[in-house]
Amino acid sequence: MSPDWATTITTVGGVAAALIGVVAGSLLTSRSERTHWARDKQIAACSAIVAESTRIQLALRRAWKLGDPVDWAPWNVALGTIWLVGSPAVVDAAARVDEVFWDSAAVQRHRRFTRDYYSESGAK
């Protein structure tokens, strides 16, 4: 083998090894970044669920005591976010919490309807 071929093969081998290393590193970094992004989104969604569930609980209490309306929009946004990025166990837990909230709201609506019905008719 002449020295020119040896230099060429060594150079091509070095370039190929460098390119393979860059591609492999890029794939590993991309996968790691996707995992971190998904975890960050799940943490943010879980934090939003906790914050909004507390807000809804307090709003339901105010609705029960004072008759204030409940703003469901932020809760629904947090619930939709958890459905998009949450694990199945977290989504199921959030759905059960949502069901309890809606049951409580239904009881509140029935209570308000009954109170309004009897106050308008004069019967007690």
> What's the confidence (pLDDT) of residue 71?
92
Sheet strands (E) in the chain: none
7-35: b or e for each residue (b if 16 or more CB lie within 10 Å)?
Answer: eeeeeeeeeeeeeeeeeeeeeeeeeeeee
Give me the pLDDT at residue 94, please: 95
Q: For residues 83 and 89, is the Cβ–Cβ distance under 8 A?
A: no
What are 64-98's pLDDT values in tens digits?
Answer: 888 888 899 999 999 999 999 999 999 999 999 99
pLDDT value of residue 31 = 80
The pLDDT of residue 87: 92
- Whole-model pTM: value is 0.64
User: Could you tell me which residues come within 8 angstroms of residue 124 by beta carbon, excluding any fewer than 6 positions away?
Assistant: 118
Q: Which residues of the chain have pLDDT under 70?
A: 1-3, 109-124
Which pLDDT does position 20 carry in this prediction? 86
pLDDT computed for residue 54 by the predictor: 95
The whole-angstrom separation of Cα 93 and Cα 50 is 12
First to last CA, the chain: 110
Return the exposure string of 61-77: e unless at least 16 CB atoms fall within 10 Å of the residue's CB, then b.
eebeeeeeebebeebee
Longest CA–CA span in the chain (Å) reads: 111
Which residue matches tokens 């409940």? 70
Confidence at residue 115, expressed as pLDDT on a 0 to 100 scale? 57
pLDDT at 90: 94
Query: Quick check: 87 and 45 in contact, CB under 8 A?
Result: no
pLDDT of residue 33: 85
